[in-house]
Chains A and B, each alone.
Chain A
């Protein structure tokens, strides 16, 4: 049990997927201009990643490994994720329209979110068991959401400030992300 808590803390803070592992940075910069889009994206990632982690893990250990097909996991995983995103989209549209409206365009975008694909690969590369995989597939996207929402707050403040013209928009956002990353690096001492 202690190990799992440690794994969760490490995934959320110490190895934060956005700021320390550099995964999912395109949506990080793209959707962090406003707080509501950031929250929508964070929710969509948590939702899809938890499912994608489980499905890809099962596909890898039940289908690919027994047949010695580990080398095509990249191809298989991306297809599984793309299909899953479509299914989730259809399912939500039909059964939970409120959540579907909230997630909006972020759902289809998730297919090309490297955070989702990256965590699925991390689960396999680190040879996690089923429970560990479950914890990591939930904790990593929580870390993603945490960093994204905090960053969106910072960016909303930056817009008010006076930034030199060449540094505006993405450039200053990257530097800000750098200092956020520096503060997350401080968590290294926790483990």
Chain B
């Protein structure tokens, strides 16, 4: 890798031993991908994936402390993934005891570290930092040092920013030195599609299911999706962006997709069309039967497969304001149809703290509360990742949550039916 004189000085330790190690990490990371240079980060804010103060992750906090002690913090402020705990979310005595006394004992300590390292503000905890209400929305062409797979794939695909699928810790290290290695999704060549996905369904495909099917097929490759604009339109409006948020999260968690192009919709596909497709690209046709096959193959790890669900999570990644409103209307409608006043399964809708703030200012909030649904800023994944919750029959319409936990996946429609007593 060819470094500038300034970068070489840092690597040589002229700005201190800790910063030299940060630079060495980035150089080695780049060299693993034959990166020839480091390029400047141009986004206003960074986004970190590590939001949880888990006792077992002590090595991470020790490393962060080394950075703080050496005074090598970033000048770039950042948002971070959602908090793992929220008293609003149903938990029994034992769960609360385990969460607070064994698992997240480092939460306060780590949040203080985050503040010192440059957290945007105390409510900047969400996986959907790019929502207008949150304010960490990079511009097209911005170079980022973000982590959080669902945010990276959204920033690359929907916003046209440039970011590799960085890991936690690498995210802040790039931000500290102000550079990231130039490879992969930062390059024009790396943004070309090696798969053409033909959507041939007879109805609008479920975003989380379509993303899952594509992720499992293409893994880390870039897919160019044809035929989806028929169902979600050719404008990046609220509805299309929410769809792509959920779709992208599933491609990233069920596979390792960092960028997708949707023909006639996403910015680079609109600009360059099929020129984005590499010669010899493979093809994957998705019809109704293929989506059903993918769904039917999800393993169910519940001990009792017929257990009554104890909790339902919707909002991984966090919901948009429009999605919160839509869920409210849909839940009201289904309850009425099923002649019920309240939901029959404890249900949590999750969204960014600032999106929830806005939601609480609308008439929909009181209406949703009336149905018995809870809203929260929690990370459902962090809530679920422990042996107590693993034994709980939890349902979700998030394919990311299904992938990482014992939660069972259902489509939005199936979830709606289940929580409103429509499954008789």
A binds B: no
